[in-house]
Amino acid sequence: MHMTRYLKFITIFLSLIIISINCFAFEQKDFVDDITHAKELFDKGEHDTAIKYWESKHSIYAGQQGHYELELGTFYSRMKAFDKAEQTYLEGMQLEGKYPRLNVSLSYIYLWTGRFDQASAILDKTINEYPDWWSGYYTKAHHEFLTENYQDAKKFAEQSLSITETARGFMLLARTCFALNDTRSVISAIEEAINIEPNFLADLTAMKIYAVSLATEGLNGEAIAVIEEIKKNNEKAAEDEELENLLAELKKPQK
């Protein structure tokens, strides 16, 4: 199965969204209300209106600890305005807030635009400055995965999980192990991810590599059960040719 490149494309854009959703740390109610309104507009497809609304809050929230800059940069990133996003993140990093999520977001801009050395350098700096922050290691693992340095990706994913166990951390470990043909570790990591976040049972890509790994280990009955379960939970699974071929192969009578 040649799924590695497919996995890369579906994960990188989602990571930018996850960073914005999970990063919030500002305590002022007005800020919370305003950024919530802007995100609601954006999610409804009113992208320009959302960005203009948030830009209009520059004089109120900008230049403090980087929270405003992070959110604005993420809006730009989602619109693929990478130059604006980069500049905004850099402005936030020059403040005294010590807000490392800006570093992580900027690293994704560098990855998206092919500046892998710059992405690696800023992530190394982030890990050195915040050695107890799981997300720094997670993002470094993601960077190494995207640049096909799978052994390093596995190492950093494991470091992230040793600090904080997250479902997406286990999924990244599973995808890395799949690229390394370490199917036993894939099975273990995906099961850990599902235990934390059962919604992964509806994730077509995750369940596909889970089924393939189970089949590779000779656990055909379990692999069939996984495929049948994902077909119940994800409408696209019924149309997935690769999944159907695997299911047909697994159901062939044993000689």
Torsion of CA 128, 133, 137, 138, to 10 degrees: -160
Residue among 222, 202, 201 nearest 212 (CA): 222
Mean pLDDT of 10-19: 52
Q: What is the pLDDT of residue 21?
A: 44
Reduced to 3 states, what is the DSSP secondary structure of residue 57?
Answer: coil
Q: What is the spatial distance between Cα 134 and Cα 25, in angstroms, rounded to a whole number?
A: 16
Backbone conformation region of residue 252, classed left if phi is above 0, alpha if psi is from -120 to 50, else beta: beta
d(CA 41, CA 116): 33
Instruction: Tell me which CATH code domain 1-131 carries.
Output: 1.25.40.10
Where do we find the tokens 């059962």? 198
Confidence of residue 201 (pLDDT cuts 50, 70, 90): confident
Nearest C-alpha neighbor of 125 from the set 141, 136, 112: 136
Question: Is-contact 136 126, C-beta < 8 A?
Answer: yes
Q: What is the mean pLDDT of residues 94-118?
A: 91
Calpha distance 245→168 (Å, rounded):
28
Average pLDDT, the chain: 88
Helix axes 220-233, 241-250, angle to 10 degrees: 150
Domain ranges of the chain: 1-131, 166-255
Identify the weakest region by mean pLDDT among 58-67, 147-156, 176-185: 58-67
Residue 44 has pLDDT above 50, yes or no: yes
State pTM to two decimals.
0.80
Residue 251 has pLDDT above 70, yes or no: yes
Structure tokens at 132: 């107890």
Examine the pLDDT at 50 and tell me if it is beyond 60.
yes
Give the pLDDT confidence score for residue 36 in this predicted structure: 96
Whether domain 166-255 has CATH 1.20.120.420: the reply is no
Q: In whole angstroms, how far apart are CA 253 and each of 5, 134, 220, 231?
A: 33, 46, 11, 22
Tell me the two tokens of residue 40: 């609601």
Per-residue pLDDT, 26: 45
Q: Distance from CA of residue 171 to its chain's centroid?
A: 9
Q: In this model, does residue 190 exceed pLDDT 80?
A: yes
153 and 141 in contact (C-beta within 8 Å)? yes
- pLDDT category, 14, cuts 50, 70, 90? low
In the chain, the percentage of residues whose pLDDT exceeds 90 is: 70
Query: What does the pLDDT read at residue 182?
Result: 97
Q: Decide: 176 and 145 in contact? Cβ < 8 Å.
A: yes
* 25 pLDDT above the threshold of 70: no
Closest among 187, 183, 122, 189 to 161, alpha carbons compared: 189
SS3 category, 157: helix
Listed residue (112, 104, 103) closest to 79, CA to CA: 112
Average pLDDT rounded to a whole number, residues 45-52: 97
Is it true that 1-131 and 166-255 share their CATH fold? yes
